[in-house]
């Protein structure tokens, strides 16, 4: 299925920089690659025979996949318990549209032959290939179309380890399933660093390293520009049928708000997912907020009432009278896709929302102010 989990949750966690200890079961001497520096849900080991051992970790930091990455035509001895991947991969399918931006960023959209949720693909190049029949629809939230995937005969299907490692093709063992867990990363730069994961498998490691280094440079520059001193208090959440939930203080969104110069109201709340809030607590926290934002998905223009979750009573809060109101609309921005590669753009959007006097002329991409 398409990954539409609330993207900031701790399972979509964000506590980076620590990395993970190398797998002690590797039978051949290995040394860690330089990094990942920010991502914590994948790890690479260089081996003495010139191959790599690529590990993917799930939401409890358990190992959900082990890949032995070798060059095409290599006779390198296999690693027991690891899936062998001959790279660069030249023919693949993806179970989530969120993976597509990594391929296009590396100039490898041409290796895609099948995508799930094809009607939700945003990338223009991939949509054109779909129109020509070069990329086919392989399924939806109910599962992948086994027959279509088998006919495509991809070298790998990129999927995700929901539920500890879901196999989207039961009974099919000759097509490797490549688990992608970028959505679990808490650090915004950690998600972007999955460029290096894709770069390794697509023969684009040098390009991936270069692109990621540029993202880091831009992100750090924007972060350094956040004003010192008083930090505006920020409420951010989502509302569904009158029920609110907010990202935990461990989350991707909490990190973005802090790096933009804001004081996230739930920064001290630790959880393994989003935090549900009864209306009374929403009002209590809302009384403290100088900025109020909401994640939503709607085709129509977004109003103050929409950001208030459709509850007119929220409009009486001081923040709706004289504060800063903003929204993130997944219908008009690719917040669940391209945004993973553009944490610097998300950060700039938020900084300009919190400190608009510093950002005249900025064109927002993912987060936008809402006015009366």
Task: Say whether 227-369 and 30-217 share the same fold.
Answer: yes
Contact assessment for residue 188 and residue 347, using Cβ atoms and an 8 Å cutoff: yes
CATH class (in words) of the domain with range 30-217: alpha beta
State the chain's maximal CA–CA distance in angstroms: 69
Q: Which of 128, 138, 137 is nearest to 104 (CA)?
A: 128
Statement: residue 141 has pLDDT above 70: no
3-state secondary structure of 134: coil
Among 43-52, 100-109, 270-279, 326-335, the least confident range: 270-279
Among 22-36, 96-110, 239-253, the least confident range: 22-36
Pick 17 or 349 by higher pLDDT. 349
Contact assessment for residue 32 and residue 183, using Cβ atoms and an 8 Å cutoff: no
The pLDDT, as a whole number, for residue 164 is: 39
Q: % helix / strand / coil in the chain, to the nearest 5?
A: 30, 20, 45
Statement: residue 31 has pLDDT above 60: no
- Report, in angstroms and rounded to the nearest whole number, the Rg of the chain calculated over CA atoms: 21
What is d(CA 125, CA 108) in angstroms, rounded to the nearest whole number? 11
Mean of pLDDT values over 290-306: 97
Statement: residue 283 has pLDDT above 70: yes
Contact assessment for residue 183 and residue 161, using Cβ atoms and an 8 Å cutoff: no
Residue spans of alpha helices (H) in 166-204: 188-192, 194-202
The pLDDT, as a whole number, for residue 26 is: 43
Backbone dihedral angles phi then psi of residue 70, each to the nearest 5 degrees: -130, 160
Statement: residue 324 has pLDDT above 50: yes
pLDDT (tens digit per residue) in 146-177: 999 999 999 999 998 875 344 567 667 789 99
286 to each of 235, 254, 265, 309, 316, how far by Cα in Å?
A: 7, 16, 9, 13, 10
227-369 in CATH: which number? 3.40.50.1980
Backbone dihedral angles phi then psi of residue 78, each to the nearest 5 degrees: -70, 155
pLDDT (tens digit per residue) in 118-132: 999 999 999 999 999
pLDDT (tens digit per residue) in 304-320: 999 999 999 999 999 99
Q: CA dihedral in degrees (214, 65, 247, 123; nearest 10)? A: 50
Q: What secondary structure letter does DSSP report for 60?
A: T
77 to each of 63, 80, 82, 126, 173, how far by Cα in Å?
A: 22, 9, 11, 36, 20
Where in the chain are the domains? 30-217, 227-369
pLDDT (tens digit per residue) in 57-79: 998 899 999 999 999 999 889 99
The pLDDT, as a whole number, for residue 242 is: 86
């Amino acid at each position: 299925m398409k990954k539409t989990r609330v993207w900031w949750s701790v399972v979509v966690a964000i506590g980076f920089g620590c990395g993970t200890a190398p797998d002690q079961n590797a039978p051949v001497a290995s040394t860690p690659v330089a990094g990942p520096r920010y991502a914590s849900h994948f790890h690479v080991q260089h081996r003495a025979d010139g191959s790599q051992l690529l590990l993917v970790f799930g939401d409890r930091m358990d190992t959900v996949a082990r890949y032995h990455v070798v060059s095409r035509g290599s006779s390198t001895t296999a690693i027991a318990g690891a899936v062998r991947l001959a790279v660069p991969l030249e023919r693949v399918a993806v179970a989530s549209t969120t993976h597509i931006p990594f391929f296009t960023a590396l100039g490898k959209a041409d290796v895609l032959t099948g995508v799930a949720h094809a009607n939700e693909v945003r990338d223009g190049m991939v949509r054109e290939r779909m129109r020509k029949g070069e990329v086919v629809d392989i399924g939806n939230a109910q599962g992948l179309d086994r027959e279509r995937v088998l006919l495509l005969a991809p070298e790998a299907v990129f999927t995700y380890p929901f539920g500890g490692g879901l196999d989207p093709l039961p009974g099919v063992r000759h097509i490797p399933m490549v688990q992608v867990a970028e959505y679990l990363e808490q650090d915004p730069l950690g998600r972007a660093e999955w460029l290096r994961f894709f770069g390794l498998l697509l023969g684009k490691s040098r390009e991936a390293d270069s692109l990621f280094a540029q993202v880091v440079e831009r992100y750090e520059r924007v972060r350094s520009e956040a004003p010192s001193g008083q930090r505006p208090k920020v409420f951010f959440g989502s509302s569904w049928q009158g029920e609110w939930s907010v990202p935990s203080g461990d989350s991707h969104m909490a990190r973005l708000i802090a790096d933009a110069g804001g004081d996230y109201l739930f920064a001290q709340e630790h959880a393994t997912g989003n935090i549900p809030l009864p209306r009374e607590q929403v009002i209590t926290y809302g009384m403290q907020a100088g900025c109020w934002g909401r994640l939503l998905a709607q085709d129509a223009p977004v109003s103050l009432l929409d950001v208030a979750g459709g509850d007119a009573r929220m409009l009486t809060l001081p923040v709706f009278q004289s504060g800063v109101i903003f929204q993130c609309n997944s219908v008009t921005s690719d917040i669940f896709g391209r945004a993973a590669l553009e944490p610097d753009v998300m950060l700039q959007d938020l900084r300009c929302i919190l400190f608009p006097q510093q950002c005249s002329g900025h064109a927002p991409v993912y987060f936008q102010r809402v006015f009366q």
